[in-house]
Structure 1
Amino acid sequence: MLKVTNLKKSFDGRQILDDVNFTVEDGNILTIVGPSGAGKTTLLRCITGLEAADSGTFTIDGKEFNPQDLTSADNVMGVVFQDFNLFPHLSVLENLTLAPTLVLKQERKVAETKARELLKQLGLKGKEQLYPYQLSGGQKQRVAIARALAMQPKILCYDEPTSALDPNLRDEVANLILSLKAQGVTQLVVTHDMEFAKKIADSMLKVQALDQQN
């Protein structure tokens, strides 16, 4: 279980997050929704340690957790970035297998088999040997999703995972996320797509820009 308590974050004197509280049970999906500028991505970045929170506590399975402590964060958080962050000099298959072989110490054949399965699920069969510059934006995003899944994280976080995909592929991503739920993976999804959010969510956290609240 992930529990976030009294999370606060400001930039240049502007309060972005003010006493945010939520709990995600093991194996459940929390969607974080709200308008642009409301702090959805900032919240995700604080949870994953990419931004330092001004204050607040993070608890995983009853133990306080510092997302910025890389030692304690190992094998806990996986992140699917909106801007992909793929290695440009590696093929699709190499992007997916690099971390599992180096960090998880998987045998290369095992890592490649799992990577190919993920690529097939995401409609990318046959793209294994292509490089990121040869892919469309939607294809890059699906590779980024597959790469995060390949690390088998305890908690998987997505920043707008469907933003570059057509409706059919959004459904595939939703089905993949729900299949991971069936496997017990806890997931947090930042999205502006309310229909997508409702389809996958066990619970929903709605955030609003603080200067719009009354």
Structure 2
Amino acid sequence: MLELKNIKKQFDGRTILDNLNLQVPDGQILAIVGPSGAGKTTLLRCISGLETVDSGEFSLDGQVFDPAENRDNDKVIGVVFQDFQLFPNLTVKANITLAPELVLKQDKQTADETAQRLIDQLNLSGKEDLYPYQLSGGQKQRVAIVRALAMNPKILCYDEPTSALDPDLRQTVEDIILGLKQTKMTQIVVTHDMEFAEHVADQIMRVEPIKA
């Protein structure tokens, strides 16, 4: 279980997160919803270690850890970014295998086999040698998910996974997230889409802007 206790975060003197507490049981999906400026993405970035917190405590399975300082954080918490952040000069397969080879020290064959299994699982077969500019938005989204899964994280986070997708692709992302739940993957979804949150989440946490 992931647990956050009394998390505080400020930017330029403005409080974004104020003594925030939450628990995400193993294998469950938490949706974080709220208006723009409420701190949804900031919270996700703190959980994933991309931002440091001012105070508070993180624990995973009862063990305290600091996401921002954990050298193995890529193996603990994966992130699917809103803008995908794929490397434009690398093929789909190379985007997926780069981190497992560099960070996890996987040999090329193992990384390739894992990537292909995930590519097939998310219906990207035949796209292995394409570059990001040759993909649709929905395909880029799935490649970003595969890239995160290739690191075998304990928790997978998504920042606005449906923001730029049409209704059919929105359903595809919903199916992927619910499919991963069947594998017992713990997931955290930041979204402005309340209907989507209600469809996928075991629990919904609403955040509001903190008044000065």
Deviations 1:127-166 (A, max 9, x none): 2111112223333222111111121100111111122222
Deviations 1:24-66 (A, max 9, x none): 0011110100111110000001111111111111011111110
Structure 1, unaligned stretches of length 5 or more? none
Partner amino acid for 1:93?
K
**Of 91-100 and 137-146, the range deviating more from structure 2:** 137-146
Shift of 1:123: 4.2
What pairs up with 1:136-175 in 2 under 5 angstroms?
136-175=136-175
* Matched-pair contact (CA < 8 Å) for 2:74–2:151: no
Distance 1:130 1:40 in 2: 33
The two structures have a TM-score, normalised by structure 2, of: 0.92
Distance 1:106 1:165 in 2: 33
Shift of 1:104: 3.2
Shift of 1:74: 4.7
**Of 69-78 and 34-43, the range deviating more from structure 2:** 69-78
Distance 2:100 2:132 in 1: 19
Distance 2:97 2:20 in 1: 36
Tell me which residue corresponds to 1:3: 3
What pairs up with 1:1-214 in 2 under 5 angstroms?
1-211=1-211
Shift of 1:18: 0.9
Distance 1:110 1:176 in 2: 23
Shift of 1:191: 0.7
Partner amino acid for 1:177?
I
Percentage identity across paired residues of the two chains: 64
Distance 1:142 1:4 in 2: 29
Partner amino acid for 1:197?
A
Distance 2:62 2:113 in 1: 35
Partner amino acid for 1:49?
G
Distance 1:20 1:70 in 2: 21
Structure 2, unaligned stretches of length 5 or more? none
**Of 68-77 and 33-42, the range deviating more from structure 2:** 68-77
Q: What secondary structure does 2:98 align onto? A: helix
Distance 1:157 1:167 in 2: 21
Partner amino acid for 1:170?
R
Q: What secondary structure does 1:211 align onto? A: coil
* Matched-pair contact (CA < 8 Å) for 1:65–1:72: no
Distance 2:110 2:177 in 1: 22
Q: What secondary structure does 1:90 align onto? A: coil
User: CA distance change for structure 1 residues 77 and 12 in 2, over 3 Å: closer, same or farther?
Assistant: same
Distance 2:120 2:188 in 1: 23
